[in-house]
Amino acid sequence: MSCKQKSTETIEIRGVYGNPKPLWDKGFNLNKLGVNAIFVHSGSINHDMVNRARSEEVMVYAEFATLNGINYVETHPEAWAINEKGEKVKAASWFMGVCTTEPGFRQYRFGQLRDLLLEYDLDGVWMDYVHWHAQFEEPEPILPETCFCDNCLDGFSKESRIEIPEGITSEKSLWILNHHDESWRNWRCKVIYDWTYEIKSIIKEIRPNALLGLYHCPWDDQEFNSARRRILGLDYNLLKETIDVFSPMVYHGRMGREPDWVKENIQWFSNRLNIKKDSYPKLWPIVQAYNNPGVISNEEFEIVLKGGLAGESSGVMMFTTSAVADDKGKTEVMKKVYTNLMEKSRN
């Protein structure tokens, strides 16, 4: 078997992100477009959608908005993230994070996940918004220092065995960042890892065959002064122990990158985590088709879609279904790339 044949046959996922209704409304059969997987926000999933997807031989994955605090922190102020000044954080662009250690919020999210898994026979759950309060989906990201609420300070102190001097929040945060910055960053990464561990445990309890995926920031280890780990709390060495499939959000337009950056990033990620197509964890990136900011041309879309299949990637999807359905050119690009992959896999 040649390397080319092996590479083609291990492309498992030809996906779309978003409710498939815009494509169905235009009379499309997903399978005939080459699509074999849909990734849909958990709140949009219903039994009719799942049944129709199954009838078209399409797998169903739920996107689970894990640490997005919009509409929650307003009615649960105890879950509001606190910055190094001791103040409630402001929304970072359009994203509103949450205190990742607040017990009530954790119970709330885990309960939502259990209800979702008990209601639908899903092929997997993709955690989204999995990071401490920040915004990475911009050319100039918003990277605040959080969270310094009493619950986080107590948790850090106990788990790291570091006694924090008495004082107001701003004094405590300054002391931690000046004297125990590395321990603080390590603890924050472990908090994020714990979310993935708990969610995977729930999935395996209710749907043992379902996968755990992760939509995540695609930055390398150095970008923005190592902010992926330092601020967002994403430590690949920890996360690869729980995550079945990594889906870096390589949104070139939103992040002010050239289309070729997608291929470069996926090649880097493949090497960084030593990804292999035929073993876990796997790599299924999500690329941008959505026209914001600016317009993503058909040519760009094809470049990033193919770029998402670089390195050891064994699948790809795009954001969003409606962006593809509303543009005949993008629909044709997706169909061409996906059906070509289907035909090669049969040979």
Residue 343 has a pLDDT of 84
For 107, residues 6+ apart whose C-beta sits below 8 A from its C-beta are none
| Helical axes 169-179 vs 150-160, angle rounded to 10° | 30
pTM for the predicted model, two decimal places? 0.95
What would the two tokens of residue 57 be?
A: 């031989």
Question: Which residue, among 58, 56, 57, 67, has the nearest Cα to 40 in the 3D structure?
Answer: 58
Residue 278: pLDDT over 70: yes
What pLDDT is stored for residue 347 in this prediction?
A: 64
Question: How many angstroms separate the CA atoms of 185 and 57, rounded?
Answer: 44
Tens-place pLDDT, residues 137-185: 999 999 999 999 999 999 999 999 999 999 999 999 999 999 999 999 9
Q: How far is CA 75 from CA 43, 192, 241, in A?
A: 20, 23, 34
Mapped onto helix, strand or coil, the DSSP state of residue 318 is: strand
Backbone angles phi, psi at 293, to 5 degrees: -80, 155
Q: Quote the tokens at residue 156.
A: 């850090």
Report the distance separating Cα 70 and Cα 12, nearest Å: 34
Lowest-pLDDT range, 3-7, 104-108, 318-322, 329-333? 3-7
What pLDDT score was predicted for residue 8?
A: 45
317 forms bridges with which residues in the sheet?
Answer: 286
CA angle 109/138/282 to nearest 5° reads 55
Are 244 and 124 within 8 A, CB to CB?
yes
pLDDT number for residue 9: 55
Q: Which residues contact 184 (CB under 8 A, 6 or more apart)?
A: 156, 160, 176, 177
Backbone φ and ψ for 20, nearest 5 degrees, come out as -75, -5
> What are the extents of the domains in the chain?
1-18+21-57+245-347, 67-123+130-243
pLDDT in tens, 84-136: 999 999 999 889 999 999 999 999 999 999 999 999 999 999 999 999 999 99
Dihedral of CA atoms 288, 292, 296, 300 in degrees, nearest 10, equals: -40
Do 30 and 58 meet the contact criterion of CB atoms below 8 Å apart?
A: yes
For 33, the 3-state DSSP assignment is helix
- pLDDT of 263 reads 98
| Residue 95 bridge partners (DSSP) | 92
Residues of the chain with pLDDT > 70: what percent? 97
Over residues 286-300, the mean pLDDT reads: 96
* Residue in 340, 338, 311 with CA at minimum distance from that of residue 324: 338
* H or E element that contains 272: helix 260-272
What is the spatial distance between Cα 132 and Cα 269, in angstroms, rounded to a whole number? 21
Residue 257 to residue 96: CA distance in whole angstroms: 24
pLDDT digits (tens, 9 = 90+) for 2-39: 333 344 457 899 999 999 999 999 999 999 999 999 99
- The mean of the pLDDT values for the chain is 95
- pLDDT at residue number 301: 98
Strand 286-288, strand 282-283: pairing: unpaired
Structure confidence by residue, pLDDT tens digits, 191-209: 999 999 999 999 999 999 9
- Higher-pLDDT residue of 40 and 1 is 40
Over 50: is that where the pLDDT of 40 sits?
A: yes
Distance CA 107, CA 175 (A): 31
Residue from 35, 13, 9, 10 nearest 24 by CA: 35
**Could you tell me which CATH number the domain at 67-123+130-243 has?**
3.20.20.80
Q: Name beta bridge partners: 40.
A: 62
Contact status, residue 206 vs residue 105, Cβ threshold 8 Å: no
Structure confidence at residue 213 (pLDDT) = 98
Determine what percent of the chain is predicted with pLDDT higher than 90.
94
Does a cis peptide bond (omega within 30 degrees of 0) precede residue 147? Answer: yes
Question: What does R_g of the chain's alpha carbons equal in angstroms?
Answer: 21
